[in-house]
């Protein structure tokens, strides 16, 4: 089943009912390069270009039943600079 959140289609998804953890991923989970936690404690995984490719939602069913929704706070934006080498070499 495909899940669409924040304009992203997560097509590789698993729910572990015993642990109440929902794993959402775009493609192969091994493609993730960086990880950080949301304010709620969920895991956010990013691909090589810095785009969000995976979310691990902790206590997914419990939160949905308690609140009627699951809130995940993500950084407002992400900036990556790769072409600053010349500028930094003269500093």
Quote the pLDDT of residue 74. Answer: 81
Residue 28 reports pLDDT greater than 60: yes
DSSP 26: S
pLDDT per residue as tens digits for the range 12-26: 988 998 999 999 999
Predicted pLDDT of residue 50: 86
Helix (H) or strand (E) holding 87: helix 85-89
Express each pLDDT in 66-81 by its tens digit: 988 888 888 764 445 4
Burial 9-26 (b: 16+ CB within 10 A, else e): ebebeeeeeeeebbbbbb
Q: For residues 47 and 53, what is the distance between their CA atoms, to the nearest angstrom?
A: 6
Higher pLDDT, 21 or 85: 21
Whole-angstrom distance, CA of residue 80 vs CA of residue 29: 22
Q: What percent of the chain has pLDDT over 90?
A: 31
Decide: 57 and 21 in contact? Cβ < 8 Å: yes
Per-residue confidence (pLDDT) for residue 46, from 0 to 100:
92
């Amino acid at each position: 089943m495909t899940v669409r959140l924040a304009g992203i289609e997560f097509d590789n998804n698993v729910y572990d009912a015993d642990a109440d953890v929902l794993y959402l991923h775009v493609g192969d989970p091994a493609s993730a390069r960086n990880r950080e936690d949301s304010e709620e404690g969920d895991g956010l995984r990013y691909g090589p270009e810095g785009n969000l490719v995976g979310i691990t939602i902790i206590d997914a069913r419990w939160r949905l039943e308690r609140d009627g929704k699951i809130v995940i706070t993500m950084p407002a934006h992400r900036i990556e600079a790769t072409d600053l080498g010349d500028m930094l070499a003269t500093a």
